[in-house]
């Protein structure tokens, strides 16, 4: 327990590993959709090889943990003022250790992507390019994008879009990555407003975000529609079963409205919306797997949702217990801290 609370827990908190389940669900759904298409073409049901599933888990965990740890490394001075309980500003994990974790997770994603490209039946080289491209997008957001407001919000959605394509670069079902793109971008914009982040979103920012989403959607649909390999009809097909992810979207809108009405202050509502919005991605993944693969695949992906929620609550609860167990620091009222070397008493 001491090892967990003092060593492993800070690393898990630094990398937000509890929410890595959402990235795993995205990539596994893409993998299932890819093999479902192969099954249709060959007239025989096939499931993805275990080796492919494990490699995609490695890629997803690596990219997600890399992005989260890099973000905290960059924001460590700011977090010391507004989020001092995080692993880096609290001193529960050292800066050098954080760099090692960040680099290690990036290498995990690269190695996993390289082996997946090697064993991939088709377009393996493009899968590896997407791994590198997604990692660069993550680095861009952490280093600059989050300070560019509208462009940063768009880049968050596009990161999910490109990550979901790593397992299935042929785009077997375009609606799946597009839903992830739109959901994450709009979710991030609304949470940004509710959390009262600065600079505030202006009308121009909103037009830029919505216009950017529309442009990305149009470009993706155009690229698929212009392909000449005969896969366009499936990728853009509108099955009756797509009502299922549509219902999931409506349910999330209802949930967001309830959060808005019942959670105060507004900043807490924004944080709650962001958490449930990320977890909701697993529901979208399960819906697409149920429609295009089978209901068993959908249920397997859906099982990741309670696992992710339990992991989030475990990390929060353990973090609070650790904070309460620490020795409190007292300071006499009115006392001021003087620079080292000043001979006066405090």
Tokens of 12: 């898990």
Q: Is residue 180 part of a domain?
A: yes
How much is the average pLDDT of 213-227?
87
Helices (H) and strands (E) in the chain, counts: 16, 0
Euclidean distance between CA atoms 146 and 191, whole angstroms: 14
Tens of pLDDT, residues 45-96 = 788 999 999 999 999 999 999 999 999 999 998 888 887 788 898 888 999 9
Look at residue 330 and tell me whether its pLDDT is greater than 80: no
Comparison of pLDDT for 339 and 142, the residue scoring more: 142
Look at residue 114 and tell me whether its pLDDT is greater than 90: yes
pLDDT at position 232: 64
pLDDT at position 230: 54
pLDDT at position 167: 93
Euclidean distance between CA atoms 189 and 185, whole angstroms: 6
pTM: 0.89
Nearest to 138 by CA among 110, 159, 160, 163: 159
Kindly indicate the confidence band of residue 107, based on its pLDDT and cuts at 50, 70 and 90. very high
How much is the average pLDDT of 90-114?
94
Q: Is residue 341 part of a domain?
A: no
Q: Is residue 189 part of a domain?
A: yes
Look at residue 333 and tell me whether its pLDDT is greater than 50: no
Q: Give the three-state DSSP class for 312.
A: helix
The tally of domains found in the chain comes to 1
How much is the average pLDDT of 29-44?
85
Q: Domain residues for 123? A: 2-318
Kindly indicate the confidence band of residue 171, based on its pLDDT and cuts at 50, 70 and 90. confident
Look at residue 227 and tell me whether its pLDDT is greater than 80: no
Kindly indicate the confidence band of residue 314, based on its pLDDT and cuts at 50, 70 and 90. confident
Q: Is residue 334 part of a domain?
A: no
pLDDT at position 40: 79
How much is the average pLDDT of 171-179?
92
Q: Give the three-state DSSP class for 58.
A: helix
CA angle 24, 259, 177 (to 5 degrees): 30
**Contact in structure between 92 and 10 (CB atoms under 8 Å):** yes
pLDDT at position 323: 60
Place of tokens 């492993």: 8
Is the alpha carbon torsion for 38, 159, 113, 309 positive or negative? Answer: negative
Look at residue 4 and tell me whether its pLDDT is greater than 80: no
How much is the average pLDDT of 243-269?
95
Place of tokens 């080289």: 125
pLDDT at position 188: 95
Euclidean distance between CA atoms 297 and 311, whole angstroms: 22
Comparison of pLDDT for 288 and 332, the residue scoring more: 288
pLDDT at position 218: 92
pLDDT at position 132: 96
**How many other β-carbons are positioned within 10 Å of the β-carbon of residue 247?**
12
Q: What is the DSSP letter of 212?
A: H
**Contact in structure between 179 and 245 (CB atoms under 8 Å):** yes
Q: Is residue 197 part of a domain?
A: yes
Q: Is residue 337 part of a domain?
A: no
Q: Minimum mean pLDDT among 81-85, 203-207, 242-246, 256-260: which range?
A: 81-85
Please report, for residues 193, 194, 196, 202, the alpha-carbon distance to residue 266 in angstroms, rounded to integers and kept in the order given: 9, 6, 8, 18
pLDDT at position 329: 46
**Average pLDDT along the chain:** 87
Kindly indicate the confidence band of residue 2, based on its pLDDT and cuts at 50, 70 and 90. low
Tokens of 242: 């797509």
Q: Is residue 325 part of a domain?
A: no
**Contact in structure between 40 and 292 (CB atoms under 8 Å):** no
Q: Is residue 340 part of a domain?
A: no
How much is the average pLDDT of 25-32?
96
CATH label of the domain that carries residue 258: 1.10.357.140
Cis bond before residue 199 (omega within 30° of 0): yes
* Percent above pLDDT 70 for the chain: 88
pLDDT at position 339: 40
């Amino acid at each position: 327990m001491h090892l967990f609370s003092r060593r492993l827990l800070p690393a898990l908190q630094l990398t937000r590993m509890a929410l890595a389940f959402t990235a795993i669900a995205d990539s596994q759904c893409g993998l299932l959709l890819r093999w479902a298409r192969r099954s249709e073409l060959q007239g025989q049901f096939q499931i993805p090889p275990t080796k492919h599933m494990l490699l995609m888990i490695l890629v997803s965990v690596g990219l997600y943990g890399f992005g989260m740890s890099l973000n905290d490394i960059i924001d460590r001075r700011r977090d010391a003022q507004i989020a001092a309980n995080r692993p880096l500003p609290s001193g529960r994990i050292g800066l050098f250790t954080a760099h090692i974790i960040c680099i290690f997770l990036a290498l995990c994603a690269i190695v996993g992507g390289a082996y997946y490209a090697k064993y991939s039946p088709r377009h393996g080289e493009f899968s590896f390019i997407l791994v590198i491209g997604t990692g660069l997008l993550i680095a861009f957001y952490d280093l600059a994008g989050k300070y560019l407001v509208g462009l940063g919000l768009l880049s968050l959605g596009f990161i999910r879009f490109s990550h979901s394509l790593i397992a299935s670069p042929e785009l077997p079902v375009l609606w799946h990555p597009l839903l992830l793109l739109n959901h994450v971008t709009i979710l991030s914009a609304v949470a940004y407003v509710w959390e009262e982040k600065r600079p505030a979103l202006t009308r121009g920012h909103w037009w830029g975000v919505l216009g950017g989403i529309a442009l990305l959607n149009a470009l993706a649909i155009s690229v698929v529609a212009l392909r000449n390999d005969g896969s366009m009809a499936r990728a853009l097909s509108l099955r009756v079963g797509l009502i299922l992810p549509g219902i999931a979207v409506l349910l999330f809108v209802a949930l967001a409205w309830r959060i808005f009405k019942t959670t105060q202050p507004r900043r807490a509502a924004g944080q709650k919306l962001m958490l449930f919005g990320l977890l909701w991605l697993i529901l979208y993944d399960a819906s697409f797997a149920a429609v295009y693969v089978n209901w068993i695949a959908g249920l397997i992906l859906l099982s990741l949702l309670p696992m992710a929620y339990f992991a989030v609550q475990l990390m929060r609860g353990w973090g609070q217990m650790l904070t309460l167990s620490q020795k409190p620091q007292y300071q006499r009222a009115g006392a001021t801290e003087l620079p080292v070397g000043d001979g006066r008493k405090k």
